[in-house]
């Protein structure tokens, strides 16, 4: 029945429905059923009703229960919130599964931006990187699958008890299954003066913001030839792409060296964390890089204020009671802002206490609402939030949804937290960190990935964008697990 979605059927159905109490009763009844019984009802009802030609009116009424397309309310088998990597990957999979017209993607942005854009790919410093900002994005309409409906709006609220999403423009979307993939929001407002500094001070930049990423390379170029102080900040976790705040520092160091400006300059990495990286193997490798390049790391320094009129940044020293602050002058300040779950999610029935979608970390299915799933940065899965994690999660979630549609509990392969961070340590060199929930390395290649390597730089620079745009967001890339198994001859994890 739910196949009858063409406008004429719907128009007729709408009329019949409006004029008949019976139709309303059927509608209410159908929406109260669980998805499993709905599917059973659809099949049984479909067979029965199709054979009784005289009951066409009832048939049409039932059809409209699924696709009542009045101007402010519509229904879908699957609604996906978010058009980022996870949203597009899952929308592609679901649209292939359910066919055209059954999947909606709610996403307000015009452009689709690769997580690569958080990385120096966007910055393109002085020929170190043969890519431009434009390479890291494409129009959203190209990323959202053609056979899914793009609803260009943001989410105002989700009512999972009634399977209903309301958008900011007041549109109501009824769903049978909901996939939440809304990412994280950037909380620049938590750093006093940072937004004004980003708007007005050419020395202040952030690769995390699509609005200010273009300033980074400008700030590189404007850095005083006579020397100065550059500060790169790392906020309270979790953030997306947690390697990005230090990668840009390594590229800046490289930029200064290439342009004969390094002498007389101080480069500081002021991080809220007590470690440079959460996995010991890679942390040790990075500490060697930092030492060799003469970079200063100030642990447990959290950026709290920027005064661009004085060119000063103030940091709270973490863990001290009473809190102590230290103010430093800058000639370049790269800000990685704190992040959090989008506001509509915080405090919603879908969220855990921290505001993330409360899903099982093994199967990504909601802990309370079995027809709700999450992927990517907005989920409560305690992995490091990267596109590589999204890739691995998309394979797991696909299995979870298949099991759900068969009325089964998810079983089989569990998500091990696989994530990856290609740590660019200079133009031409990358440490490819790959690890799991337990911060244990989970490396694809049978070589020591803790070493800076040119091969990994090429993998990152030349292959990852292809993988992202052509495989991941189309729902065809589930991470390198199979290759890891093959390359390790089936041994290891």
Q: Would you please indicate which residues are annotated as catalytic (active-site) residues?
A: 241, 421
Nearest to ligand UQ1 of 361, 474 (CB atom): 474
Minimum CB separation of residue 464 from ligand UQ1 in Å reads 4
183 binds ligand UQ1 (CB under 6 A): no
Size of the site for ligand UQ1 (CB under 6 A): 14
Nearest to ligand UQ1 of 27, 436 (CB atom): 436
Cα distance between residue 318 and residue 233, in whole Å: 14
Three-state DSSP class for residue 114: coil
243 binds ligand UQ1 (CB under 6 A): no
Nearest to ligand UQ1 of 216, 430 (CB atom): 430
Give the CA angle between residues 47, 52, 56 to the nearest 5°.
Answer: 100
479 binds ligand UQ1 (CB under 6 A): yes
Residue of 163, 430, 444, 449 interacting with ligand UQ1 (CB under 6 A):
444
Question: If residue 332 lies in a helix (H) or strand (E), which one and from where to where?
Answer: strand 332-334
Q: Which two tokens stand for residue 41?
A: 């009802």
464 binds ligand UQ1 (CB under 6 A): yes
Minimum CB separation of residue 276 from ligand UQ1 in Å reads 19
**How many helices (H) and strands (E) are present in the chain, helices listed first?**
14, 21
Got the DSSP string for 124-181? -GGGSS---GGGGEEEHHHHS-TTSEEE-S-EEEEETTTTEEEETT--EEEEEEEEE-
Piece of 52-60, 137-145, 275-283, 460-468 that binds ligand UQ1 (CB under 6 A): 460-468
Extended strands (E) in 181-215:
185-186, 204-205
Contacts 24+ apart (CB under 8 A), 60-63: 60/4, 60/9, 60/12, 60/13, 60/16, 61/13, 61/16, 61/17, 61/20, 61/22, 61/23, 61/26, 61/27, 62/1, 62/26, 62/30, 63/1, 63/2, 63/4, 63/5, 63/9, 63/10, 63/13
Question: If residue 25 lies in a helix (H) or strand (E), which one and from where to where?
Answer: helix 21-32
Number of Cβ within 10 Å of residue 59's Cβ equals 21
Minimum CB separation of residue 219 from ligand UQ1 in Å reads 25
Cα distance between residue 479 and residue 387, in whole Å: 10
- Among 356, 363, 351, smallest CA distance to 397 is for 363
Which residues are CB-contacts of 91 (< 8 A; sequence separation ≥ 6)? 78, 80, 83, 103, 105, 144, 145, 148, 179, 475
480 binds ligand UQ1 (CB under 6 A): yes
86 binds ligand UQ1 (CB under 6 A): no
467 binds ligand UQ1 (CB under 6 A): yes
Residues in the chain, overall count:
493
468 binds ligand UQ1 (CB under 6 A): yes
Minimum CB separation of residue 266 from ligand UQ1 in Å reads 30
175 binds ligand UQ1 (CB under 6 A): no
- Which parts of 330-389 interact with ligand UQ1 (CB under 6 A)? 387-388
Binding mask 386-425 for ligand UQ1 (x = CB under 6 A): -xx--x----------------------------x-x---
125 binds ligand UQ1 (CB under 6 A): no
Minimum CB separation of residue 116 from ligand UQ1 in Å reads 6
472 binds ligand UQ1 (CB under 6 A): yes
Minimum CB separation of residue 468 from ligand UQ1 in Å reads 5
13 binds ligand UQ1 (CB under 6 A): no
89 binds ligand UQ1 (CB under 6 A): no
Applying CB under 6 A, the residues found at the interface with ligand UQ1 are 116, 387-388, 391, 420, 422, 444, 464, 467-468, 472, 477, 479-480
């Amino acid at each position: 029945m739910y196949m009858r979605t063409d406008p004429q059927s719907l128009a007729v159905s709408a009329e019949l429905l409006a004029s008949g109490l019976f139709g309303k009763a059927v509608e209410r009844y159908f929406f109260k059923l669980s998805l499993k019984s709905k599917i059973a009802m659809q099949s049984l009802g479909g067979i029965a009703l199709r054979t009784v030609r005289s009951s066409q009116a009832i048939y049409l009424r039932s059809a409209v229960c699924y696709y009542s397309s009045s101007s402010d309310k519509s229904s879908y088998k699957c609604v996906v919130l978010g058009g980022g990597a996870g949203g597009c990957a899952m929308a592609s999979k679901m649209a292939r599964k359910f066919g055209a017209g059954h999947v909606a993607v709610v996403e307000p942005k015009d452009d689709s931006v690769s997580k690569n854009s958080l990385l120096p790919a966007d910055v393109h410093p002085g020929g170190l990187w043969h890519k431009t900002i434009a390479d890291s994005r494409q129009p959203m309409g190209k990323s959202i699958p053609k056979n899914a409906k793009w609803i260009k709006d943001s989410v105002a609220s989700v009512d999972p008890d009634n399977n209903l999403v309301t958008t900011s423009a007041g549109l109501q979307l009824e769903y049978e299954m909901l996939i939440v993939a809304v990412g994280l929001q950037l909380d620049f407002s938590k750093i006093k003066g940072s937004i004004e500094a980003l708007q007005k001070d050419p020395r202040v930049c952030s690769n995390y913001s699509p609005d200010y990423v273009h300033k980074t390379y400008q700030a590189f170029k404007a850095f005083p030839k006579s020397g100065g102080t550059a500060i790169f900040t790392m906020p309270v976790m979790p953030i997306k792409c947690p390697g990005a705040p230090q990668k840009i520092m390594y590229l800046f160091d490289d930029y200064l060296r290439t342009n004969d400006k390094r002498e007389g300059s101080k480069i500081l990495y002021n991080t809220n964390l007590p470690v440079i990286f959460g996995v010991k193997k890679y942390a040790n490798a990075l500490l060697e890089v930092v030492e060799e390049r003469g970079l200063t790391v100030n642990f447990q320094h959290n950026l709290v204020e920027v005064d661009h009129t004085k060119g000063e940044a103030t940091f709270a020293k973490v863990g001290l009671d009473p809190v102590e602050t230290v103010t430093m002058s800058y000639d370049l300040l790269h800000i990685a802002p704190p992040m959090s779950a989008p506001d509509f999610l915080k405090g919603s029935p879908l969220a855990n206490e921290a505001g993330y979608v409360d899903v099982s970390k093994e199967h990504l299915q909601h802990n309370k609402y079995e027809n709700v799933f999450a992927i990517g940065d907005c989920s409560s899965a305690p992995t490091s939030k990267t596109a590589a994690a999204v890739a691995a999660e998309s394979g797991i979630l696909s299995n979870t949804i298949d099991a759900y549609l068969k009325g089964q509990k998810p079983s089989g392969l569990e998500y091990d937290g696989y994530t990856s961070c290609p740590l660019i340590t200079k133009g031409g060199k990358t440490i490819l960190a790959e690890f799991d929930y337990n911060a244990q390395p989970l490396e694809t290649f049978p070589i020591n990935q803790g070493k800076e390597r040119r091969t990994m730089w090429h993998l990152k620079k030349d292959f990852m964008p292809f993988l992202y745009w052509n495989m991941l967001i189309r729902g065809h890339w589930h991470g390198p697990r199979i290759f890891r198994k093959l390359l390790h001859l089936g041994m290891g994890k």
